[in-house]
């Protein structure tokens, strides 16, 4: 399985996508497309923990080189560790706004002595068959990304990035602009300034910068890569499906109207 943390340590850029549909078929298909990771979104979808584990299995079936990730619903110790137990090799946590929240996230993901994650038989350690190996590997391999998507987080960015165990930042453009009163105005100078502040802080603290290019726009993805973002998310399954179907139907209707 792709070791995302090692890839980033090697100065590689990783590109993945989001899975919101809850469909194991789509998750398996996405993994087979060549993405470095597929991230199951449990924040903005109806996908629950048992479904997430099934989706992780589908991702692994689609490609052993595609890492399963999860975008958590928030910082909740009792649930965060269960998603890692289910097999997540990376977590993205939304709405991290303070150092204390980042510390709680790291504590939930990492085993002692670096965290407080409980030890039990689970899918991540092959239900106990690889418990000792996974105990060591998990702390070294599971990618921890804090999602910066509120202006309060931007103002606290240096404190947040000072937390040991935080590997990456992931900008949530919609929520960040919403918190600034400029929802979805991605060319607004205030948003661009906030994004620059985040990127500069990442460079200062030697933390990988990431961002979600929500619309399936490869040109924008290339621009973000050129700016220095190395943890990229390219759209999401439901949006790509909608765009393809809408464009195809519109083209057909235009032809039939002639």
| Beta strand ranges found along the chain (DSSP E) | 14-19, 37-41, 67-71, 90-93, 143-148, 168-171, 208-213, 231-236
Q: Are 19 and 39 in contact (CB under 8 A)?
A: yes
User: Whose CA is closest to 173, among 131, 129, 211?
Assistant: 211
Q: Which two tokens stand for residue 161?
A: 């990035």
* 205 annotated active-site: no
Q: Are 145 and 165 in contact (CB under 8 A)?
A: no
Q: 41 - beta bridge partners?
A: 71
Rounded Cα distance between 238 and 26, Å, is 10
Task: Report the catalytic residues.
Answer: 44
């Amino acid at each position: 399985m792709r070791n995302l943390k090692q890839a980033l340590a090697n100065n590689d850029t990783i590109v993945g996508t989001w899975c919101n549909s809850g469909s194991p078929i789509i998750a398996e298909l996405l993994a087979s497309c060549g993405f470095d990771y597929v991230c199951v979104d449990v924040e903005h979808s109806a996908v629950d923990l048992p479904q997430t584990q099934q989706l992780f299995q589908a991702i692994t079936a689609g490609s052993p080189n595609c890492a399963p990730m999860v975008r958590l619903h928030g910082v909740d110790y009792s649930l965060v560790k269960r998603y890692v137990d289910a097999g997540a090799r990376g977590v993205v946590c939304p709405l991290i706004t303070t150092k204390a929240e980042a510390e709680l996230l790291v504590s939930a993901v990492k085993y002692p002595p670096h965290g407080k994650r409980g030890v039990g038989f689970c899918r991540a350690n092959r239900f106990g068959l690889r418990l000792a190996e996974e105990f060591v590997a998990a702390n070294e391999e599971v990618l921890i990304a804090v999602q910066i998507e509120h202006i309060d987080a931007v103002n606290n960015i240096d404190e947040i990035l000072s937390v040991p165990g935080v590997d990456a930042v992931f900008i949530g453009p919609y929520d960040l602009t919403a918190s600034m009163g400029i929802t979805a105005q991605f060319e607004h100078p205030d948003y661009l300034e906030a994004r620059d502040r985040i990127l500069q802080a990442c460079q200062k603290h030697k933390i990988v910068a990431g961002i979600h290019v929500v619309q399936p726009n490869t040109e924008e993805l290339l621009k973000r890569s050129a700016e220095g973002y190395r943890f990229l998310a390219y759209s999401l399954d439901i949006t790509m499906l909608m765009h393809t179907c809408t464009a195809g139907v519109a083209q057909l209707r235009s032809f039939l109207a002639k």
